[in-house]
Chain A
Amino acid sequence: MNARVLPYVLILPVTAFLCLFFLYPFVLVAKQAFSTGDGFTLDNFRQVVGYWKFPISLQNTLLLAAAVVPVQLALALLMATMVNKMQRGRDLVLYVWTIPLGISDLAAGIIWLAIFEQSGFLNSMLSGLGVVDRPVNFLSYQHPGVVFLAIALAEIWRATAIMLVILVAGIGLIPKEYYEAAEVFGASPWKRFTRITLPLLRPSLQTALVLRVILAFEVFAVVLALGGTLFPVLMSETYAYQFDLLDSGAAAAMALIILAISIGFTLIILRALRVPKGATI
C-alpha cells in the first residue's frame, strides 16, 4: 500500500470509533436535553435548574473544586521539585507517591470511610488520646464541615498523583543548564523555582490543571461513599435523575450543564496559562 493512503487507513478505526461513541452521543445527549417529545424546548433545563437541590449541588461542586485543586497544585509542585533533586531512593518514592493514580474514586471513598466512620480510625485515635469519650458520628448532618473535609481530603489524597506525574515529566524536560547558569549568577532556590521552573513548566501546568479541573466537576463516587445524600453534587444529581427519577431528559440537561462548565473552565485555564508562540524549550 502506498504511503499516501496508508496513514488514513491506520487512523480510520479510531476516527470511526470516536465518531460513533464520542461525537454521535453528544448529538444524542443534546437532542435529549432540548426536547421533551415535541420539538425544541428548554423545559428540561428549566426543570433541573429550578429544582431546590440544584443551587446546593452546583455550589458544593464548585466549592469542592476550589478547595481541592489549589492544594493539589501546590502539593504536586512541591513533590515534583523534591523528587527532581533526589539522588537516592527516587524510584521508590515516586512509586509510593503515584500509587493513588491507580486507585478508583470509589475505593478512595471507602478508604477514607474507614478513617471517618463512627467506629473508624479517627474516632479510635481521638478516644485513645482522651479527646472524646464516645465515638462521634462525623459523617452525619450535624457535622457538615467534617463531611466536606473528609471528601476534600479523599480527593486530595487520590488525585494529586495525576498532577504529580504530569509535572515530574514536565520538569524532566527543562534543560539542567538553565539551573546551572542561574546558580552561577547566585539565584536562590526560590528564585530558580519562580523564574525557571514555573515559566518553563507552563505547558505541563496547563495539561495538569485542565485534566484535574474536569475531573473535579465529575466528582461522584467519593462523595457518595463518604457523604451519601448529605452532600449533593452535580454528578450525583445527574445519576439520581437517570436512575431514581427515570427522567433521562433531565439527566441529559444536567450532563450538558456539567459539560458547559467544564468547557468554560478549560478555556479559562488555556487562556490564563497560554504559551507565547515560539517560546518552547
Chain B
Amino acid sequence: MTTISKTSNVPAPRSAPEGTPLLEVRDLHVEFHTRDGVAKAVNGVSYSVNAGETLAVLGESGSGKSVTAQAIMGILDMPPGKIPHGEILFQGQDLLKLPAEDFRKIRGQKIAMIFQDALSSLNPVHTVGAQLGEMFRVHRGMSKKDATAKAVELMDRVKIPAAKARVGDYPHQFSGGMRQRIMIAMAMALEPDLIIADEPTTALDVTVQAQVMDLLAELQREMNMGLILITHDLGVVADVADKIAVMYGGRIVENAPVHEIYKRPAHPYTRGLLDSIPRLDQKGQELYAIKGLPPNLLNIPSGCAFNPRCPKAQDICRTDVPVLHQVTERDGSELPGRGSACHFWKEQIHG
C-alpha cells in the first residue's frame, strides 16, 4: 500500500570522526590518450567524504564526474586512461600506489559502486541469486548454499517482495526499479564503508525514483556509510545530499553545503544551471539557457573553462585559470565548506 509521509528526515550531517576523512581525493588528474590527441577529462579535482555523509557530484556529460568515480574505484581503462598526478586517500591509504592485489581486497569490500543502467550492469545469463551470492563466495569464501541464503537476506533488506521465490529469477524478469534495488543490494552486500552511486535513478520513473532514493538514504543511515552521489539532476541532489561539488570541464567549480547552493550560488555556471530549470512561477516566459555547448575535452578553453559561455566573462577569465577561492561573507567571515572557482565570485554571491 501507499505510505504518505512528511519528508523532513533528510539525513543530517553526522559529526565527523576525528582525524582523517573516509575518502579524500587530492588534485586528481585523468587524461585519455586518443588518436586525436590527449583528452583531459579530470584536471585537478579534490574532494572529501566522511562516514555517514553524502557528497553529491553534479555536472553535465563530459564534466568528468564519472571518470573521477571510476578512478576511485580503480576501474578506469588504462590505457587509454592515465593518471599523471593526484592522490586518492581512502582511510589514509593512497589507493593509486596500492598493488592490484591489495586494491582488489578493498574494491567491493570497502568501496562499492552502483551503476546507472542496471539492465546492462547485471549479467543476463546468471540468476540474480548467483550474482548476489558471488560477492560472498569470492570475498568471504562461503559455500554456494550459504551464499544463496545471504542473497535472499539481502533481497529482503532492499524490500524486494517474495525474495525467496525470486532469488532464482534472471535480471530481465525484474522491473527497472527492482533491478536497481538488486544493484543496491549487491553494493551493500559486504557492508562497505563507502558507496559510489553513478546516476542511480536516471533511468527510472519519478515515482520509482523516489522509492529508490529513499531506500538508499535509509540503508546509508543504518550502516553509517559515506555516499558519493553522481548526478546531473539538481532535484535529486536537493533531496539527499549534505554537500555538493559542481563540476565543469574536469574541474570543481563550486563546493557548498546543500542549502547554501540553492540560495546563493557563488559561480555563474551553478547560477545558470539553477535558472535553466523550468519554474512554476515563470511559465510562459522564455527559459534561461546557458548559451553554447560544454567544452571539448581535447581542446579546453584557456583560462576559465566556462568563459565562452559565461555572461560575466572578462579578459582575465580568458587568460588566468581561477583557483577554488574560499567563499566569505560580505564582512570577510568564512563560510565553512564553500568554495568557488570564479574570479568574480564576490560579485556573483553578493552582487
- Do A and B pair up? The answer is no
Chain A contact residues, CB within 8 Å of chain B = none
